[in-house]
Structure 1
Amino acid sequence: MASTGEFIRVGGVAHHVVVEGEGPVCVLSAGLAMSWFDWDPVVPLLAPRRTVVRFDRPGHGLSAPAEVPPSASGEAHRIAGLLDALGLGKERVTVVGHSIAGFHAEAFARLHPGRTAGLVLVDSSVEGRARAPRAPALRTAAARAVGAALGAAGAPAALGPLTRRATVRLSRTGGGDPAAAELVRRCYATSRVLNGALLENTHYRAVAAQVLALRAARPLLAPTTVLAAPDSRRWTTRQRELAHLLDARLRIVPGAGHLMMLDAPEAVASSILTTPRP
């Protein structure tokens, strides 16, 4: 599949966006260093009944490099801005976040309750306690310096696609990376994606702390589903606690790894389609 879409400027950055299907809108956002095509197995199951919007965050997939570090509110407003630019600003959407993008999806649901029909968290990142690290500007500078050094050494071209392949294999319960070699090279042999991943990883705890603050300040009104891969008893317990905290429906997906959209696309799609709409 791996449809390529269009580029839309939001906040001065060109974002790669793919829109398919028809019906109520759902927005898919993948985890750290992942790309729009990682949702490929899920989209055909949704498109007959949903307008599916998937996009690459800055420094991911085909989107332009990130100009500012990520924040919970910034990522929430990014989703809103993309929907506005697509002419979908009046739609109530189901927002779907995988891994670290679960933070972004939850932030959208809390900051834009009138635009949120449902929230689906796909093996989302979970942090019960998080404090924003000090000196964020220094951390950003350090991440950019590391990225620049690795780029100058040719690491993205030499190791990027191999690292992508290995990461996907380790994050699944079985099978390798189904993405086409051309797409993997086009995205992961670039300094752009390396820098985007470094920046998001550097500010992970800050974003987590911001989500915890939003939980204390903004209610979650949207029907919510938490999908969890049974990686370990500890991980399942954390996902169960997240579902309880969010008053969400919990679904443990047997046989799925962290990249659930590749291991169990039917479970992901059915959870999106059956999430109650307010």
Structure 2
Amino acid sequence: MTEKLLNFRAEGPASAPPLLLGPSLGTSYALWDEVAPELSITHRVIRWDLPGHGGSAPELIGPGATVGDLADLVLALADSLGIGQFACAGVSLGGAVGLHLAVEHPERVSSLAVICSSAHFNGAKPWEERAARVRSEGLGWLAENADSRWFTPGFTVPELVADQRAADPAAYAACCDALAAYDLRERLAGIGARTLAIAGREDPATPPAHLREIADAVPGAALVEIPGASHLAPAQCPEAVLTALRAHLDGGARRGMAVRREVLGDEHVDRAQARQTPFTARYQDFISRYAWGEIWTDTTLSRRERSMVTLTALIAHGHYDELAMHVRAARRNGLTAEEIGAVLLQSAVYCGVPAANSAFAVAQRVLEEDGD
């Protein structure tokens, strides 16, 4: 019999670094609609639904559940998708699941973003009372005041309020049980994953002090406060959340700079950095993040293959100054002088003999200078 798994939506290249996104109690993965598509440009994004929410089966959770039970469901989903280590980000209960994973399964969590969440949710009593009322009355009364709990006055996302209304009451109450029993304050100092805490300054449920408590306790953690955001910041202030997550998740510019140095060599990169001015700084950052931090790090093609594609493109467009640089890069990426010659010969057929004449002259000069 096939094990039931959390409902999920996958976006982005299968070869990209995996990123798991968790929702808040009462919502579905639609909470991430304004953020996930952008994150999927650089990551394999997996958005999951809580039991009894969205498309997840309510029977995945029962009375007396814990955040650890929810974390186990997330790990089972990751395992089913062949995902070992992953970055994770979560809102409220989804953030609590991320914290639990970072504490109990540190080998699985490469980085963590905790959004409008906490290491505790103000004690057991409020959640026990909410669970009891939901079990007896259903979720209609919560849907009626969802906007005031989730957003600042005048803002709403009807789809998320509909998610609250459509959630399974028993599963929702079991999630309340999990929040009632949850308190990780004494274990935050043991988290080793690179951690970002994001607070909504107008959040009444998990105010900035809760996120500051996490940032102060987790070694090296950073804190971002978003003005004008209440409890569901990814829905209300998606651009601000996206900016914070992009800067945190994989350090694209830092990773890109490392790859840039590996391919082009320290001497070239140092010269480029020395020539950088305030006018060109954003462009240099763009190159490091996009060309080197996203394209050259994609494992779909090897660096050897990327060098061959790059040489051909530079010849086709007559960019011979860049060609010299990338002939050296091709050697670093493992191409022999004979293989570079074969690429140039292929280019003669499809880019033209005059272009190949210039390319051979450039390549021969570079290879002779480098002793090839």
What is aligned with 2:70? 75
Q: 1:111 to 1:60 in 2, by over 3 A?
A: same
1:191-236 residue CA offsets vs partner (Å, 9 max, x unmatched): x52222222223423122xx346447xx211100000111279933
Q: Distance in 1 between matches of 2:187 and 2:71?
A: 12
1:46-79 residue CA offsets vs partner (Å, 9 max, x unmatched): 1111111111111222211143343232222222
Q: Does 1:124 align with 2:99?
A: no
Q: Of the candidates 208, 223, 237, which is equivalent to residue 209 of structure 2?
A: 237
What is aligned with 2:196? 225
What is aligned with 2:218? 246
Which structure dedicates a bigger proportion of its chain to strand?
1
Alignment-mate amino acid for residue 231 of structure 2: H
Q: 1:148 to 1:262 in 2, by over 3 A?
A: closer
Is the Cα–Cα contact under 8 Å of residues 174 and 263 in structure 1 kept in the other structure? no
Q: Of the candidates 148, 153, 167, which is equivalent to residue 146 of structure 2?
A: 167
Q: 1:179 to 1:47 in 2, by over 3 A?
A: farther
What is aligned with 2:268? none
Q: Does 1:100 align with 2:110?
A: no
Q: Of the candidates 6, 16, 32, which is equivalent to residue 7 of structure 2?
A: 16
Return the offset for 1:32.
1.3
1:207 alignment partner, SS class = coil
Is the Cα–Cα contact under 8 Å of residues 76 and 111 in structure 1 kept in the other structure? no
2:202 alignment partner, SS class = coil
Q: Distance in 2 between matches of 1:75 and 1:232?
A: 24
Q: Does 1:33 align with 2:26?
A: yes
Q: 1:80 to 1:254 in 2, by over 3 A?
A: same
Within 5 Å, which residues of 2 pair with 1:147-186?
Answer: 147=134, 149-150=136-137, 159=140, 163-164=142-143, 166-168=145-147, 170-173=149-152, 175-180=154-159
Q: Of the candidates 243, 249, 266, which is equivalent to residue 270 of structure 1?
A: 243
Is the Cα–Cα contact under 8 Å of residues 116 and 207 in structure 2 kept in the other structure? no
Larger Rg: 2
1:153-184 residue CA offsets vs partner (Å, 9 max, x unmatched): xx55xx37xx436413542235543344xx86
Q: Distance in 1 between matches of 2:32 and 2:227?
A: 19
Alignment-mate amino acid for residue 88 of structure 2: V
Is the Cα–Cα contact under 8 Å of residues 223 and 277 in structure 1 kept in the other structure? no
Is the Cα–Cα contact under 8 Å of residues 70 and 200 in structure 1 kept in the other structure? yes
Is the Cα–Cα contact under 8 Å of residues 147 and 198 in structure 1 kept in the other structure? yes
Q: 1:268 to 1:82 in 2, by over 3 A?
A: same
Q: 1:206 to 1:106 in 2, by over 3 A?
A: same
Is the Cα–Cα contact under 8 Å of residues 33 and 196 in structure 1 kept in the other structure? no
TM-score by length of 2: 0.57
1:119-140 residue CA offsets vs partner (Å, 9 max, x unmatched): 001111343986x78xxxxx79
Unaligned runs of 5+ residues in structure 2 are 252-372
Equivalenced residues, count: 242
TM-score by length of 1: 0.74
What is aligned with 2:177? 202
What is aligned with 1:3? none
Q: Superposition RMSD on alpha carbons, in Å?
A: 3.2
Q: Distance in 2 between matches of 1:94 and 1:109?
A: 10
Question: Identity rate of aligned residues, in percent?
Answer: 26
Q: Distance in 1 between matches of 2:53 and 2:165?
A: 12
Q: Of the candidates 218, 221, 230, which is equivalent to residue 257 of structure 1?
A: 230
2:181 alignment partner, SS class = helix
Q: Distance in 2 between matches of 1:148 and 1:232?
A: 26
Is the Cα–Cα contact under 8 Å of residues 172 and 257 in structure 1 kept in the other structure? yes
Q: Distance in 1 between matches of 2:202 and 2:107?
A: 35
Unaligned runs of 5+ residues in structure 1 are 1-8, 134-138
Bigger RCO of structures 1 and 2 (CA < 8 A, at least 6 apart): 1
1:257 alignment partner, SS class = coil
